[in-house]
Each structure stands twice: as C-alpha cells, then as structure tokens.
C-alpha cells in the first residue's frame, strides 16, 4: 500500500495523482464533482479560471501522445497556469542525461506540477518519490500499470449517462493484457461499486489472474456484451505486443470487432466508449464509432474537465490549512 | 447566540429599496445573480417579492477565491450557472453577508468572464462591517456591528433565519 500514502497526505487529501487503485471513494467522487463544475467553465465566453495563475506545469512525455498531452495542456491553460511541453524521447535523454538530472533541471526552473507519461511502469511513482516537496506529480500513463486520469474521465462520462453505478453492467473489450487504461478503469469502477464489470478478450490478450480484480471474464464477444449498459472498446496496442498474440487484425475484427450487429445484444440504451486513438475496422466499425450510441468525443471534452479537477485538487493541498473568510 | 426571525419583513424592505435604486438609475431590465448558497436563497426571495420572471443565475466563486494558495480548493456546492447573456446586461448581484469584500471581488471577476455587464448592483441581507477591500453594497437589509471573532450565518431556505454565533 505504498501508493496511497505517496499520493495522499496525512490529512487524506491528494498530493499526487499516481493511480486510481486504493483511492478512497470520497476522494474519487470529489474529483468527479469538481470536474462537473469545470465542465461549465469550458462553455463560457472566457474559458479560463485564475486558480493556477503563476504556477508552471511541465508536460513530461517520454512516450508519444496527442490526446492526453493536448488535453493536459489545455486543462492547465484553462486554469491560467504556464505550460511547458517536453517530449523527452527527442531531447536530453538522447544526449545521455539521466531521469533524475532532467528532474533537477526542471525543478530549478521552478516547475510546480509534473505531468508524466513513461513507458516503464512505476515511473511516475519514482518521480513523485524524488521530486521536491512542493512539486506535484500527475501520472499520464506509466507502462502497463496505470492511467488514472483516463479512468477518471471514463467513469465521469459513464456517470453523466448512467448515474447509478450499482445498477449497471460494464464490459471492457479488447487488449486487456497491454492496457494500463483497463486496469485503472477496473479499479475506478470497483471503487464506485459497479454492479458488474466484465472483461472480454481472446485468452492471449488477458493477463493471468485478472479474475482476482473482481471482474467476470468472457472470451466470446456476443456473450460478453449480452445486456451490458456500457461498452468500453480498447485499442489493440501493437507497439506493446511481443510475439504472436493474434492471428491477424482481420481475424481479430471478425471475432472481437464491435459492429452494429454485435451492439444489438447489449442493453438498448447502452453507450459505446473508446479511450482513443481508434483503429477503425480493427476493434470498432466506423458506423458504431460515429453512431448515436457513441460517446467517444464526449470523453475527450470530459478529459479536459477531469484534468483541471486533478490539477487544482493536488495543487490546493500544497499549502497550510486555514479558515474560511467571507 | 442571537437569532433574527423577521427575514420576510427585511426582504420586503430590500425589494422596495432595490426597485427605487434601479428606477433612479433608469434600469428596467435586469438579471438577478445569487452567490451560492445563501445569496441564492436571498436572490430567489427577492425575485418573488419583485415579481421578476427571468431565471436567477447562481455563482459558486470557489475557482476565483484569493485564498486558494493558502487553503486549497473549497468543496463546491454547485457549478456556476448564468442562464442568460451577461454582455450589456444590468446585473443585480446578491449575497447573504457582506464582510471582508473578498467574496464580492471574486464574484465580480467571475461575472466578467461571462461577458461585460452594463452595470452591477450589489444587494446584501447583512452588512457586518470589517471590509478589507473598497467594496460597498447598494442595498443593505440589515447592518450589524460584529467583532472579528463572531460569525453570522444564514440558514434556509425555508424558513430563512439569521444566527449570530459568538466564538467561545
């Protein structure tokens, strides 16, 4: 249980956001409720609030990303922070600088928040352990381990459509083995007491012992989708696959691709989600991705609000507690 | 502890004073905006007194407070919602208690992020003194002189009652 103590302070408030696992339900709901308020800000004439004015956010991306980096950047800017984007794979590390040296240099520039994406599991934890006490770390995806803000924006999106988690069935379909998103989603859904969480994938794309997380395992898509309220499709992570896990993309689509016909087996009001980027014709058919049940673009919009909530909540705990003054 | 119960009477007087104030300034069309939570109750009560039909806007100024770096984000009550165009509108801003003036400063900043109002009129149920910023209300229901350690709290919405609490 080292993660929760590293990410929550003695007062129980968030100091870093590294993983959803072990997050107490009130903390998770505080993030969702705060995001709900930020959603209104993005619909106004001036889409900014002054909360993080004078703070510096460094997007530290050791792995490529478009959506996550852009929405983190937009979230920070809407909180009035200054943002620096560093794609480290193309920068200093290539010249031989160590991670800790990179970190020290960024701290010397008075950074307040590090948003970290790294191909190695535990990278964000490592940085949180070694950064200065006033610096907050937000995990934007580490290896196969966790992607907390993605899971939070997903449960946020679900809650806006299906507010009662204890009455819904959620199916997570696809490359569970390589997916940090799936792991974080399962933890978030479990914390919110979701009635049933299913994982649907070919045996080769399921991690051993996944049942221990409390999910129901299906290796047949039609059975896995029967009666579900939420379908979360995952991308085939070809860049993380080693060895012959699949016969071919076409074969995968035939068995696990979400088509209009397959969608018929789900609840009539089921919503379809995908964390992106979508591989059309591999895990999902275009007509479903662009169809009436799809909330995929809503997820992107909600991602900005969730990231604003995460940044403002962790920055708000860097300070002494005081009393409210009218 | 002291309790004040004749809030309806005070609200009636405030509604009358507000009408006169707006008349003097030649304002006939205006939008009511309450600050969550107490200001919202007062704004709704004034709406009823004035037979005002437009929707009442609500502000939660947590994102604009000047003490974020000291105490962090306040738990939000409800998202802000101004269900009308602020641009060129006469806004009547309503709060329950006026004290340091910092809440009003934050509310003004938030209103301007929705647009440029034609004017802002400030209405408060209680002015307890102790201003730390150059802010004054146009309509005040009740003036109470309170020492710094004391609190005044509005309970409601039905019925509305004011309680003055003295720190032990």
Options 3.30.420.10, 3.30.70.1880, 3.40.50.1470, 3.40.50.1370; CATH for A148-299 is 3.40.50.1370
Residue A325 has pLDDT above 50, yes or no: no
Assigned token pair, B124: 């408060």
Cα distance between residue A41 and residue B80, in whole Å:
8
What percent of chain A is modeled with pLDDT above 70?
91
On chain A, the residues whose CB falls within 8 A of the CB of B81 are: 40
pLDDT at A206: 95
Q: Give the closest-approach CA distance of B24 to chain A in angstroms.
A: 30
Residue A240 structure tokens = 């993380």
- What is the tens place of the pLDDT at every residue in A45-71? 889 999 999 999 999 999 888 889 999
Strand duo A136-142 + B30-35: pairing? unpaired
Query: Above 0.95 for ipTM, yes or no?
Result: no
In chain B, residues 97-116 whose CB comes closer than 8 Å to chain A: 97, 99-100, 102-103, 109-110, 112-115
Q: For A80-102, how does the pLDDT look when each residue is reduced to its tens digit (9 = 90+)? A: 999 999 887 655 566 667 888 88
Tens-place pLDDT, residues A205-243: 999 999 999 999 999 999 999 999 999 999 987 766 666
State the sign of the Cα–Cα–Cα–Cα dihedral A188, A191, A193, A199.
positive
Q: What is the structure's pLDDT at A4?
A: 47
Edge to edge, what strands does the sheet with B161-165 contain?
A: B2-4, B161-165, B151-155
Over residues B35-49, mean pLDDT = 95
Residue in A45, A320, A324 nearest the CB of B114: A45
Domain ranges, ordered by start, for chain A? 25-147+301-315, 148-299
3-state secondary structure labels for all residues of chain B: CEEECCHHHHHHHHHHHHHHHHHHCCCCCEEEEEECCHHHHHHHHHHHHHCCCCCCEEECHHHHCCCHHHHCCCCCCCCCECCCCCCCCEEEEEEEEECCCHHHHHHHHHHHCCCCCCEEEEEEEEECCCCCCCCCCCEEEEECCCCCCCEEEEECCCCCEEEEECCC
User: In this complex, which of B80, B99, B100 lies closest to A40 when CB atoms are compared?
Assistant: B80
- Cβ neighbours for A136, distance < 8 A, ≥ 6 positions apart: A15, A16, A112, A113, A114, A311, A314, A315, A318
Q: Which pLDDT score, from 0 to 100, does residue A93 have? A: 61
Average of per-residue pLDDT across B26-46: 95
* Candidates A33, A37, A326; nearest CB to B99: A326
Q: What is residue A13's predicted lDDT score, i.e. its pLDDT?
A: 83
The mean of the pLDDT values for chain B is 91
Confidence label for B150 from pLDDT (cuts 50, 70 and 90): confident
Per DSSP, helices labelled H in chain A are 2-7, 25-41, 67-78, 99-108, 123-130, 148-161, 180-191, 221-225, 249-256, 260-263, 286-289, 296-315
Q: What is the pTM of this model?
A: 0.89
Dist CA A164 CA A194 (whole Å): 8
The reply to whether A147 belongs to the active site is yes
Q: Do A326 and B100 touch (CB under 8 A)?
A: yes
Q: What CATH number belongs to A25-147+301-315?
A: 3.40.50.1370
pLDDT at B77: 67
A274, A244 Cβ separation under 8 angstroms: no
- Residue A195 corresponds to which tokens in the numbers above? 């009635």
SS3 A326: coil
Question: How many CA atoms does the CB half-sphere of A318 hold within 13 Å?
Answer: 19
Flag if A34 and B87 touch (Cβ within 8 Å): no
Q: Report whether A138 contacts A115 (CB < 8 A).
A: yes
Name the pLDDT band for A176 (thresholds 50, 70, 90): very high
Residues whose CB is less than 8 angstroms from the CB of residue B113 and which lie 6 or more positions away in sequence, other chains included? A44, A45, A46, A48, A49
A25-147+301-315 and A148-299 have identical folds:
yes
CA atoms of A67 and A247, how far apart (whole Å): 29
- Active-site option among A15, A55, A69, A147: A147
Sign of the four-CA dihedral B165, A324, A22, A10: negative
pLDDT of residue B142: 93
Residues A23-36 have a mean pLDDT of: 94
Residues of A in contact with B103 (CB under 8 A): 326
């Amino acid at each position: 249980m080292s993660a929760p103590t590293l990410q929550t302070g003695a007062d129980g408030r968030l100091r870093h956001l590294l993983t959803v696992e072990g997050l107490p339900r009130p903390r998770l709901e505080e993030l969702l409720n705060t995001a709900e308020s930020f959603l209104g800000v993005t619909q106004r004439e001036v889409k900014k609030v002054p909360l993080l004015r004078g703070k510096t956010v460094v997007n530290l991306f050791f792995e490529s990303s478009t959506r996550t980096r852009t929405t983190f950047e937009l979230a920070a800017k809407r909180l009035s922070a200054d943002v620096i984007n560093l794609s480290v794979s193309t920068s200093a590390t290539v010249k031989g600088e160590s991670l800790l040296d990179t970190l020290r240099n960024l701290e010397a520039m008075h950074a307040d928040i590090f948003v970290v994406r790294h191909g190695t599991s535990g990278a964000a934890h490592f940085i949180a352990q070694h950064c200065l006490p006033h610096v907050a770390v937000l995990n934007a995806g580490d290896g196969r381990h966790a992607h907390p803000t993605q899971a939070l924006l997903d449960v946020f999106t679900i809650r806006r459509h299906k507010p009662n988690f204890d009455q819904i069935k959620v199916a997570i379909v696809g490359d569970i083995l390589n997916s940090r998103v799936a792991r974080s989603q399962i933890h978030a859904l479990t914390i919110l007491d979701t009635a049933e969480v299913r994982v649907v994938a070919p045996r080769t794309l399921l991690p051993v012992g996944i049942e221990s997380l409390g999910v129901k395992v299906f290796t047949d898509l039609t059975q896995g989708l029967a009666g579900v309220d939420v379908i979360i499709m995952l991308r085939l992570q070809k860049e993380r696959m080693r060895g012959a896990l699949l016969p071919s993309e076409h074969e995968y689509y035939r068995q696990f691709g979400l088509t209009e016909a397959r969608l018929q087996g789900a609840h009539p009001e089921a919503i379809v989600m995908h964390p992106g980027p979508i591989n059309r014709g591999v895990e999902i058919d275009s007509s479903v991705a662009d169809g009436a049940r799809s909330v995929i673009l809503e997820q992107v919009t909600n991602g900005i609000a969730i990231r604003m909530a995460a940044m403002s909540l962790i920055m708000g705990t860097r300070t002494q507690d005081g009393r409210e003054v009218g | 502890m002291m309790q004040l119960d004749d809030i309806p009477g005070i609200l009636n007087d405030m509604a009358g004073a507000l009408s006169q104030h707006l008349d003097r300034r030649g304002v006939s069309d205006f939008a009511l905006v309450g600050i969550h939570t107490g200001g919202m109750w007062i704004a709704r009560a004034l709406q009823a007194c004035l037979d005002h039909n437009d929707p009442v806007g609500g502000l939660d100024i947590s994102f604009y407070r000047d003490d974020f770096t000291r105490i962090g984000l306040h738990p939000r009550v409800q998202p802000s919602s101004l269900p009308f165009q602020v641009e060129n509108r006469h806004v009547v801003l309503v709060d329950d208690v006026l004290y340091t003036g910092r809440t009003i400063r934050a509310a003004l900043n938030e209103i301007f992020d929705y647009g440029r109002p034609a004017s802002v009129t400030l209405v408060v149920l209680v002015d307890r003194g102790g201003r730390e910023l150059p802010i004054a209300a146009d309509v005040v229901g009740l003036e109470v002189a309170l020492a710094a350690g004391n609190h005044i709290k509005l309970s409601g919405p039905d019925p509305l009652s004011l309680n003055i609490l003295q720190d032990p």
